[in-house]
């Protein structure tokens, strides 16, 4: 997986340390702690922050994260990236999106701005290169707004969901299929979960992107459909993003009771559900 496809998955698989924005009157801020690992080796810890602003003038939802590899991974490959998006809270339509990163110390910046007529203007910049791309499609979403929509209403067993995603550099069509309902264990606890599998196509090529290997996503079966785990196959093994801690108001929601004696002998503890 390389180039634009890697950046798309990086934007969708939000994994890193994020600072909490200042809280103002009318704002509800929720933080979700995650652990990122590759074949069982820790590579990062993550805090994803969602801010819902129910102001009188306008209602907005912001999703932000900072991607950062740990000191051990930095010896081989380093990533520092901040991603933040703001959407209209009622319609979940994009307002703006920024993905600012340094890969092995080399800076790159992608920004998307939504015009009043719905036009999405994407700008990509790195030293020695600048590119502007415009998308005039009322269905197009930035990656993080697409995540918000998918979590608000996951696909049903009978009806897959499809999203037109604009990364600021390229367009993709992503279809989400609901594969199963199962119980999984993550560091935050044991949950009844819905397993969702995305399929990714390049819009310009109208075919499935062969650079993206299998990705599986688990969300809680109960509302608000909290993201529990993302499993992304790579060239060797797989990368996991697992929920470590819920916001205070979400603790206990969707948890499955586990007697301690059962935990000690449960063969599924620590095993990845496929």
Domain segments of the chain as ranges = 3-265
Q: What is the pLDDT along the chain (274 residues), one digit of tens a residue?
A: 445 545 555 555 543 333 334 445 578 899 998 999 999 999 988 889 999 987 766 789 999 988 889 999 999 999 888 899 999 998 999 999 999 999 999 999 999 999 988 899 999 999 999 999 999 998 999 999 999 999 988 998 888 999 999 999 999 999 999 999 999 999 999 999 999 999 988 887 666 666 667 899 999 999 889 999 999 988 788 999 999 988 765 555 555 544 333 333 333 333 333 3
Spatial separation of the C-alpha atoms in residues 112 and 92, rounded to whole Å = 15
Query: For residue 260, what are the CA distances in angstroms to 167, 186, 190, 263?
Result: 45, 16, 12, 5
- pLDDT, tens digit, 9 for 90 and up, residues 191-239: 999 999 999 888 876 666 666 678 999 999 998 899 999 999 887 889 9
Q: Quick check: helix, strand or coil at residue 271? A: coil
Record the tokens describing residue 36, joined without a space: 């990122």
Beta bridge partners of 66: 82
On whether the CB atoms of residues 84 and 98 are closer than 8 A, the answer is yes
Residue showing tokens 């599986």: 216
Q: Name residues whose C-beta falls within 8 Å of residue 25's C-beta, 6 or more positions apart in sequence.
A: none
Q: pTM above the 0.85 mark?
A: no
Q: How long a stretch of residues is the chain?
A: 274
Quick check: 167 and 11 in contact, CB under 8 A?
yes
Q: What is the C-alpha to C-alpha distance for residues 118 and 269, in angstroms, rounded to an integer? A: 47
In the chain, DSSP assigns E strands to 27-38, 41-54, 59-68, 79-88, 94-103, 106-114, 120-126, 129-135, 140-141, 161-166, 171-186, 189-202, 207-208, 215-220, 227-233, 238-245
Q: What confidence score (pLDDT) does residue 55 get?
A: 72
Q: What are phi and psi of 116, to 5 degrees?
A: -55, -30
């Amino acid at each position: 997986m390389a180039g634009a496809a890697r950046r798309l998955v990086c934007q969708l698989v939000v994994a890193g340390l994020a600072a909490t924005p200042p809280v103002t009157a009318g704002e509800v801020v929720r933080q979700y702690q995650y652990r990122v690992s590759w074949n069982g080796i820790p590579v990062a810890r993550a805090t994803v922050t969602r801010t819902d602003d129910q102001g009188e003038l306008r209602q907005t939802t912001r999703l932000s994260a900072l991607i950062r590899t740990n000191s051990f991974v930095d010896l081989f490959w380093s990533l520092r990236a901040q991603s933040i998006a703001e959407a209209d809270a009622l319609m979940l339509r994009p307002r703006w999106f920024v993905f600012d990163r340094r890969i092995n110390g080399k800076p790159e910046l992608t920004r998307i701005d939504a015009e009043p007529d719905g036009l999405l203007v994407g700008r990509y910049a790195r030293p020695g290169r600048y590119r502007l791309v415009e998308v005039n499609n009322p269905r197009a979403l930035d990656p993080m707004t697409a995540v918000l929509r998918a979590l608000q209403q996951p696909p049903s067993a009978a009806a897959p969901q499809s999203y037109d995603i604009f990364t600021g550099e390229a367009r993709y069509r992503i279809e989400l299929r609901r594969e199963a309902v199962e119980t999984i264990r993550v560091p935050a606890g044991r949950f009844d979960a819905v397993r969702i599998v995305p399929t990714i196509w390049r819009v310009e090529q109208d075919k499935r992107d062969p650079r993206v290997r299998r990705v599986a996503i688990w969300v809680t079966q109960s509302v608000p459909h909290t993201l529990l785990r993302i499993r992304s196959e790579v060239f060797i093994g797989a990368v996991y993003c697992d929920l470590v801690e819920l916001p205070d108001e979400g603790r206990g929601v969707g948890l499955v009771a586990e007697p301690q004696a059962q935990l000690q002998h449960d063969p599924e503890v620590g095993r990845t559900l496929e």
